[in-house]
Structure 1
Amino acid sequence: MWRTLASAVAGLLVLFVGSLAFNAASGQSRWPGPLDFVRVHPWVVLLILIPMSLIGLWQAPRRDHAQAPLAPMAYRLPPRNTNFTGRDATLREVRQRLTSVNDAARLVVHGLGGVGKTQLAVEYAYRYLSKYRFVAFVDAENPDLVASQFVSLARELGLTEVSSDQVIPRVYGKLRDRRPWLIIFDNGEKPGPLTHALPSGGLAGNGHVIVTTRVSNWSGSAGVIDLDVFTRRESVELLVRRVPGMTAAVADRIAEQLGDLPLGLEQAAGYMAYNHTAPEEYLALLTSRLEDMIAQGELTDRPMVVVATLWQLSVRRLETEQPQAVRLLKLCSLLAPEPIPLDLFTGSPDTLNVAAADPLAWDTTVGALAGLGLARRGEASLVLHRLVQAATRASLPDEARADTRVQLCRALLTAVPHDIHGDPDARPRWEKLLPHVIAVTKDDPPAECAAETAVLLRLASTFLLQIGDFSVALSLCERALAIDESLEGRDAEIGFDLITLAHIHRDLDTPERARPLAERALRLHESCLPADSPAIATDLATLARTLCLLGEHRAAQPLAERAVQIDEVAYGPDDPYVSFDLIALANVHVELGDHATAVPLISRALRIREAHYAPDHLYIGYVLLLKAQVLHTLNDPTAADLARRGAQIMHTQLGETHPKTEEAFALVNRLR
């Protein structure tokens, strides 16, 4: 329009100059400057300017018609999400990658269901709508229905009576007149079934294609952007903006429970808005009843979509194609939302029948979960989003859930190190498996695995005791004891529970509680185990150290000496278990004031531990600190160096604020 107006104005100016020439031809006085030519040759000027003016006026609208862009045309584009949050960097990346080539550009947005792939594609379309002349949205979940959508799209473009086998190339041909264009194929599966619907070669250059998918094998067909869950900042921003009265602190905790999944956050906001639920009350419901809450709350633009049913189609597909993958999914759903070591299942092949025993079958079983976006596969682990787990758990009948727990208890009991004190590799293995042990044992166990659950709880408690987490260790061991006491024929196991509890109370500086536990453990084990059993040695050493804390040093000494004798016979003189007995005996001598006798016992214990554990192991740190204290009493100048080494180990393994670390550095300061 503006070009037409400018041309018209130019034409009028030409006519105006022509009128001047006409006046000059009528005998006006001489004009100075360039217009003097008009006075001398007026008819020549008129003969030149009049045709030029007419041509300019005739061509201007034609040029304007050719250059004016058509208004953007949209086909089935969903409404824009007015609450769209974040993703600015990803949207810029999408734009950059689509515009980096001149031909038809394809880009795949891949990610977990509910992560916001469709919302991202739709937001991109609206944000850059002015850059396109045609935008279409195609539901690609069922490839067989794509052609029928192209028939409708063809009519939208003015194409009629096009056969179904020709409609797709005809549409892309028609799009040549509406370049640049954008087509979004939403929720595509494998690239093969969609190949016929995607542009190829020179069929339709200067167009863009976005495919959203949960399936991960598109890298050979297009560029791929892996869309992850929200950052915590984006999650908090969405909740604070959507929910009145929401604080950043509560939003952070809700986001943690929902794993920052955008759909879960939108659903939570919808639930609170509809029910007028206070954020703190919603958080309490979410924490205690996650599996129920993921079925509550609707989205205004997608009323039938909830987290609880989000992955049902993928699971039904797996039931047909990879039933063992569904079994694996159910097993993983009862574990923690942490990396799951795959050897948890390969070490117990009965858990998955034949799948884990056959390398190819196992690889395709694990790959099926990763391929459909239900899990993320690491080098030797599998990670499921916490809401995928919750949705899967919610679909399990009670009987199936109980059977799954039994299988997992037995697999975990096979996988965890039992010799937590003597196995130098126990700690890293336990660090990986502890979250899963706690997840599987958190509820009352099925009768079929009650005994296994008690053992797992006690072993987890022993590991936590080793790393200094006394409060959690105490609660787990108390549960183990309660389960064992409810079963018959568990005297030896009850003794192990009791002695572990005695250790915990001793380290919590409540020796008065530790003593009766250790005494009862010793009585039980002496009644049901051989007299030279190492378990009895552990009871003796624990009771000896407890009596020392209570000031009964003379009574403690024969107990500690007997413990050393039993373990030296059972394990040999250089075994790590002997080192614990030696420390118990050394502590007795320290309390008796016989520091000179304690030093060689401590030194021997240190040599044993340095031969079996890593240099920064906690057990070495404890011995170093004990030796530093004793040597300081004997005025030995090497005490300060030993204390510094021990304190550094405490700091590395337990952290700066742990009470044991603070005690260690207090000793360092005293020895300066």
Structure 2
Amino acid sequence: MLRRLVGTVAGLLVLFVGSLAFNAASGQSRWPGPLDFVRVHPWAVLLLLIPLALAELRPERRGDRTPRPATAATYRLPPRNTHFTGRDATLRELRRRLTSAGDVAIQVVHGLGGVGKTQFAVEYAYRYLSKYRFVAFVDAEDPDLVASQFASLARELGLVEVGSEQVVSGVYATLQDRRPWLIIFDNAEKPSTLVHTLPSADLARNGHVVVTTRVSGWSGTADVMDLQVFTREESVELLVRRVPGTTAQTADRIAEQLGDLPLALEQAAGYMGYNQTPPDEYLALLTSRLEEMIARGELADRPAVVVATLWQLSVRKLQREQPQAVPLLELCALLAPDPIPLDLFTGSPEPPITAAADPLVWDTTVGTLAGLGLARREDTSLVLHRLVQAAIRATMPEDLLATARATLCRALLTAVPHDIHGDPDARPRWHRLLPHVLAVTKDDPPAQCAAETALLLRLASQFLLQIGDHRVALPLCERALALDEALEGRDAEVGFDLITLAQIHRDLGAPQTARPLAERALHRHESCLPAGSPAIATDLATLARTLSLLGEHRAALPLTERALQIDEAAYGPDDPYVSFDLIALATVHLDLGDPATALPPISRALRIREAHYPPDHLYIGYALLLKARALHALDDPSAVNLARRGAHILHTQLGRTHPKTEDALALANRLKR
């Protein structure tokens, strides 16, 4: 713009000088030269020059500008990660927060180890490098080394003769002449470790500070941004771009195994790239040997960093400062990467770990895991990333793993409802604890907890049977049976395993497989339990229903009647378990073509269930559908509404595509016609 203004003034001077020369050469005092026109019409000339001046002074259009090259000086800024993926919206949000603050903006980026905080901060510095005149990177992991880095930074800025006590203030004073500036404090600990090096309003102006940390407790010092793991789309994008031949489907499954942790994904890409491992083979290795795989594969720019060692410093700090939290971390490492209910450890008269016995010690113990970035604390639960768990498991010796599994088996057996059919609160509690039961029981158990493992497996299969997930329930119950049969003195338990297996096969549409299992269960229980045991009633009712499905209705009838008598004597006439016998008895009468005889026991069973279960419980839905069948056989129009209610419950609880839901909807549609 200045160049244009100078050009305009020069042009006017040329015009003026030329006019003088022209008049002098002409020898005429009144020659109509340019100066005469100016002298006679000065305002007209001025009006003609104004648009020209404005045109020369107007700013350049944005489209005509060429990008100004980055001129910022940098201090210890790491190289830019050429494979940086995603985070665009989060980077813009960081920029917005920094620029909307006052003279000095301090922004803390908090997140799990391996989530990419350092790479995020470095990418921000490069992406907005043209907005700064000076950018510095300070490694803040060791507080004792921060002062020496500031001394080095002072020398970089030309402060040669300055005392150690004036280094920080001298750096910020010097940065006044390099505004705007940016300093990144990477991997900081608690705010107190940087209290003497973070700028204050009286030290600096027009600068930005970004602090990355995995430690909580910064909200009182600065604004905090939580950096999360990748979205699944970002994870897939990274793997597909970095590893040739990776399909989106395989990348999705690898990302699932790695919990979308950016460092783990980079490590996976490095491993596959170096070893030329096909993605499907790498996925198989991850699935079967996760604890070993997180130690393999290095990053080109950070060869010493792997997921397996990522949290070692935090664990050592935990062992030093809060040793009572270590057993909790080790127990949580064996559970599922799902929210872990804290009352799993506090809800027992004999807590599985000592710290859970004292509320204050317990609160500090849980808080330390969250504060060090090893877990995330929610209202009533604790969440560990699956790779944090894998890294902790990898450091635990075999004897410690066995002891921890036994401890968890006992804790889970105390926490899960055993009366899955009769307890109305059993279902939500089981939904929360089932992932952890499956995690603890997935491998062959140590001898010290084989019996507890078998019981957990059978209870889990009974819950899955209740919610209609038969195919997952089947292998669990088969494992329970194998464990119980291998142990001595488990006759009754073997019978419970057998009858549960019979119920699963029956519901899977295989009554011919269910029959011998039910008969074996009945024989086993009659040989080791009292004649009036409710377990025998369950065996009788299950066998009766199985025989009815095989068309042997007459043989089934006395079995259901005997089962009803046993449970009424054991529990009373209005117990939920009695309702199962009533349903079995009514089903046999319906199969015998006698809906009038079937209707009273169905109605009684429905009343019992409505008194004990929530209105949307599956057991109420099943009773409604059975009653609708009986009423329809009796030409009662009220059958339609009952069938609709029952189908709606199954639809809500099991989903539209579940076979039982489809059967219920088909019945409701058939009755409508």
What residue number does 2:65 align with?
none
Q: How does 1:416-495 map to 2 (within 5 A)?
A: 416-495=416-495
For residues 610-629 of structure 1, what are the structure 2 equivalents within 5 Å?
A: 610-629=610-629
The change in CA–CA distance for 1:69 and 1:247 in structure 2 (over 3 A counts) is closer
**Matched residue, 1:55:** none
d(CA) in 2 for partners of 1:31, 1:302: 83
Partner of 1:263 in structure 2? 263
Partner of 1:378: 378
Distance 2:417 2:128 in 1: 57
Query: 1:520: Cα distance to partner?
Result: 1.3
TM-score (norm 1): 0.93
The alpha carbon displacement at 1:352 in A equals 4.6
What's the counterpart of residue 333 of structure 1? Answer: 333
1:554-565 matches, cutoff 5 A? 554-565=554-565
The answer to whether the Cα contact below 8 Å between 2:70 and 2:129 also exists between their aligned partners in 1 is no
- Maintained 8 Å contact 1:327/1:352: no
What secondary structure is seen at the aligned counterpart in 2 of 1:196? coil
Encode CA deviations 1:463-515: one digit per residue, 9 max, x unaligned: 00000011111110000000000000000101110111111111112111111
Aligned equivalent of 1:219: 219
Question: 1:485 and 1:32, CA in 2 relative to 1: closer, same or farther beyond 3 A?
Answer: farther
In structure 2, what is the equivalent of residue 53 of structure 1? none
| Distance (whole Å) between structure 1 residues aligned to residue 566 and residue 396 of structure 2 | 50
Amino acid at match of 1:340: I
Q: CA deviation at 1:353?
A: 3.2
CA contact (8 A) 1:31 1:39 kept: no
Q: CA deviation at 1:174?
A: 0.3
Moved more, 479-488 or 350-359: 350-359
Deviation at 1:9, TM superposition (A): 3.9
1:636 paired residue number: 636
- Which among 8, 24, 27 is matched to residue 26 of structure 1? 24
Letter in 1 for 2:169: P
Per-residue deviation at 1:450?
0.4
Conserved? CA contact 2:16–2:35, under 8 Å: no
Q: Which residue of 2 aligns with 1:548?
A: 548
Per-residue CA deviations over 1:85-139 (Å, capped at 9, x if unaligned) read 1111111111111111231110000000111111111111001100000000000
Q: SS at 2:164's partner residue? A: coil
Structure 1 pair 387–33 and aligned structure 2 pair: CA distance change class (3 A): farther
Question: More deviation in 5-14 or 254-263?
Answer: 5-14
Letter in 1 for 2:24: S
Mapped contact 2:19–2:33 kept (Cα < 8 A):
no
Judge conservation of contact 2:19–2:34 (CA < 8 Å) in 1: no
TM-fit CA distance, 1:22: 5.0
Superposed CA RMSD in Å reads 1.8
**Is residue 158 of structure 2 the alignment partner of residue 158 of structure 1?**
yes
Contact 1:25 1:39 (C-alpha < 8 Å) held by counterparts: no
Runs of 4+ in 1 over 6 A off after TM superposition: 37-40
Q: Give the equivalent residue in structure 2 for 1:126.
A: 126
Rate the CA distance shift 1:439–1:158 in 2: closer, same or farther, 3 A.
same
Partner residue in 2 for 1:179:
179
- The answer to whether the Cα contact below 8 Å between 2:69 and 2:130 also exists between their aligned partners in 1 is no
Equivalent residue letter for 2:645: R
Letter in 2 for 1:557: L
Q: Assess if the C-alpha contact under 8 Å between 1:114 and 1:264 holds in 2.
A: yes
Cα deviation for residue 19 of structure 1 reads: 3.2
Q: Decide which moves more: 574-583 or 556-565.
A: 556-565
Q: CA shift at 1:631, angstroms?
A: 1.5
Contact 2:355/2:362 (8 A) holds in 1: yes
Counterpart CA distance in 2 for 1:123 and 1:263 is 15
Aligned residue in 2 for 1:62? none
Q: Is the 8 A contact 1:480 1:497 kept in 2?
A: yes
Can you list the C-alpha shifts for 1:121-161, whole angstroms capped at 9, x where unaligned?
A: 11110011000000000000111111100111111111102
Following the alignment from structure 1 to structure 2, what is the Cα–Cα distance between the partners of residues 174 and 33? 60
Q: How does 1:501-540 map to 2 (within 5 A)?
A: 501-540=501-540
Q: Distance in 1 between matches of 2:123 and 2:534?
A: 67
After the TM superposition, which of the residue ranges 522-531 and 336-345 deviates more from structure 2? 522-531
Output one character per residue of 1:192-227: Cα deviation in whole Å (capped at 9) or x when no partner: 110101001221110000000001211111111101
Structure 2 Cα separation of the partners of residues 284 and 137 of structure 1:
40
Contact 2:325/2:355 (<8 A) preserved: no
**3-state SS of paired residue (1:647):** helix
In 1, Cα distance between the equivalents of 2:31 and 2:389? 93
| Counterparts of 2:381 and 2:662, CA distance in 1 | 36
**Structure 1 contact 24–39 (Cα < 8 Å) conserved:** no
| CA 1:373–1:559: 2 relative to 1, 3 Å | same
* Partners of 1:115 and 1:638 in 2: CA distance: 59
Q: Which runs of 5+ in 1 are unaligned?
A: 41-67
Structure 1 residue 324: Cα displacement: 2.1
The answer as to 2:321 corresponding to 1:321 is yes
Q: Which amino acid aligns with 2:72?
A: P
Q: How far does residue 526 in structure 1 lie from its aligned partner after superposition?
A: 1.4
SS in 2 for 1:671: helix
Specify the alignment match of 2:112 in structure 1.
Answer: 112
The CA distance in 2 between the partners of 1:193 and 1:431, in whole Å, is 43
Distance in structure 2 (CA, Å) of the matches to 1:442 and 1:625? 36
